[in-house]
Structure 1
């Protein structure tokens, strides 16, 4: 079967060569060029500057696409039944996420404070450490806020204390506040995970201290619940140092309870952490759009 196809192909080439040769000497090509033309995956008829070249290219295209291609199984993937592979450029996505508010926070300075860290892991339950969860969500939130146009200041970006190791708790908290004040932040948001002796309690809540922070606390809380489906434990005024001592609108988000087995599993999940970051980011964008 293969030998028959080759014989037919040779006959077609001979006939086409005898047909094309009388047209004009200037378009005659060596056999190696002819073979190269016939085995090219595409032939452009627009590259020639004359009608004669276009005619010859058209004839070659016909011979290759309609006769030689099907005989020798050359050409496009449609003749073999394969599906072309789509390759996305490095560092980008073929389908970029539509949930990023590009430029929605342009010019805003936001301090993201992952609670605890280093020698202070915070709440620990069900083999989950609060400091690890806080940092994981904070890094995801940093990325989303940056994509939305904000300048993001992280009080910490790894598992360490903000003040020098060995500092008092007061010095540690003051170091976090100082980052917000020295960078003239438009918003300060501290991320925490909760615990309770009653391990059936679960849900997310958002705290604020001053009246100027109440609106952003409510908006972020609602967006967080919408994104995660967590039990809504609402917003509440509190006297936590980091939200009491900052001059800009400031909130403290308790993302869930590590003491609850089911919620601890979710908090430790990258997908759920993305949902938390998404909800907080949406709330922040909404807050600034209403100002």
Structure 2
């Protein structure tokens, strides 16, 4: 008998392996990039904010030179005024606004130095200016509020050194530009009367400065409308917003 030819072995069908795709976790790089996009771009500008005065319990009656090399001696600091209608001390108002201003400027990408962060710090007007100078700050903005014997006195104003200042005459022009920019934006934001720019060469905190410097007198704490207004949370937001806008405008057009 002949041999029966062997039947070919059946071929195995190719089986495509089942691949289960897991959901991709967001990479750390993507998360980091998103976080960076939410952060403001750094401006490489350091703003010194000086909340005027300190607590009335801090003795600042000792004397210091009114300017470098000056023989005139003045008290290290004064106690400031008080809200005639709210009872809020000026030193507290100045600090409250300065803390809000620090946060707002930081969100804009500025670096910020506060000369004090509480009401217990014993730091003189000269020491505040020197601190701002030595920190490498680009400008110094001193936060104050006004007082008057008359309850009718009203409005915001700024104070800068004059062009004849015997110590810091070179700071007059940039200080005035900064002050005008801040004051105009502040008054536009708050609705306070613009009482203009004043020049003063007797202030220790100005005479010891080596960077553009200004004092913002935010309003009169002896005026009912302004005293109560500056205590209002929404008005404070407007106050800070105006200052920030003025600083931004100063650097855009500087």
What TM-score, normalized to structure 2? Answer: 0.69
Q: CA deviation at 1:208?
A: 1.0
Match of 2:34 in 1: none
Unmatched 5+ stretches in structure 1: 1-48, 50-100, 164-171
Given that 2:130 and 2:208 are in contact with CA atoms closer than 8 Å, whether structure 1 keeps it comes out as no
Q: CA deviation at 1:244?
A: 2.5
Match of 2:52 among 112, 115, 126: 115
Match of 2:180 in 1: 218
1:196 is aligned to 2:148: yes
Given that 1:162 and 1:175 are in contact with CA atoms closer than 8 Å, whether structure 2 keeps it comes out as no
Q: CA deviation at 1:161?
A: 3.2
Q: Distance in 1 between matches of 2:53 and 2:233?
A: 20
Q: CA deviation at 1:184?
A: 1.2
After superposition, the C-alpha distances for 1:228-256 in whole angstroms (9 at most, x for unaligned) are 00011011211222122211111100000
Q: Distance in 2 between matches of 1:152 and 1:251?
A: 16
Given that 1:155 and 1:162 are in contact with CA atoms closer than 8 Å, whether structure 2 keeps it comes out as no
Q: Counterparts in 2 of 1:27-106, with a 5 A limit?
A: 102-103=40-41, 106=43
Match of 1:154 in 2: 114
Match of 2:232 in 1: 269
After superposition, the C-alpha distances for 1:45-96 in whole angstroms (9 at most, x for unaligned) are xxxx8xxxxxxxxxxxxxxxxxxxxxxxxxxxxxxxxxxxxxxxxxxxxxxx
Q: Hey, which of these two has a bigger chunk of helix by percent? A: 1
Match of 2:158 in 1: 206
Q: Distance in 2 between matches of 1:254 and 1:152?
A: 20
Q: CA deviation at 1:162?
A: 3.8
Match of 2:128 among 146, 158, 176: 176
Q: Distance in 1 between matches of 2:233 and 2:212?
A: 28
Q: CA deviation at 1:129?
A: 1.1
Match of 2:102 in 1: 142
Unmatched 5+ stretches in structure 2: 1-19, 21-38, 57-77, 162-171
What TM-score, normalized to structure 1? Answer: 0.60
Q: Distance in 2 between matches of 1:160 and 1:115?
A: 12
Q: Distance in 2 between matches of 1:244 and 1:252?
A: 12
Q: Distance in 2 between matches of 1:137 and 1:285?
A: 18
Q: Distance in 2 between matches of 1:277 and 1:162?
A: 25
Q: Distance in 1 between matches of 2:122 and 2:241?
A: 25
Larger Rg: 1
After superposition, the C-alpha distances for 1:180-202 in whole angstroms (9 at most, x for unaligned) are 01101101000001000011111
* Larger RCO, structure (CA 8 Å, separation 6 or more): 2
Residues 1:102 and 1:279: Cα distance change in structure 2 (over 3 Å): farther
Match of 1:130 among 77, 90, 93: 90
Between the two proteins, the alignment pairs up a number of residues equal to 184
After superposition, the C-alpha distances for 1:147-205 in whole angstroms (9 at most, x for unaligned) are 11111000011112342xxxxxxxx1111012101101101000001000011111100
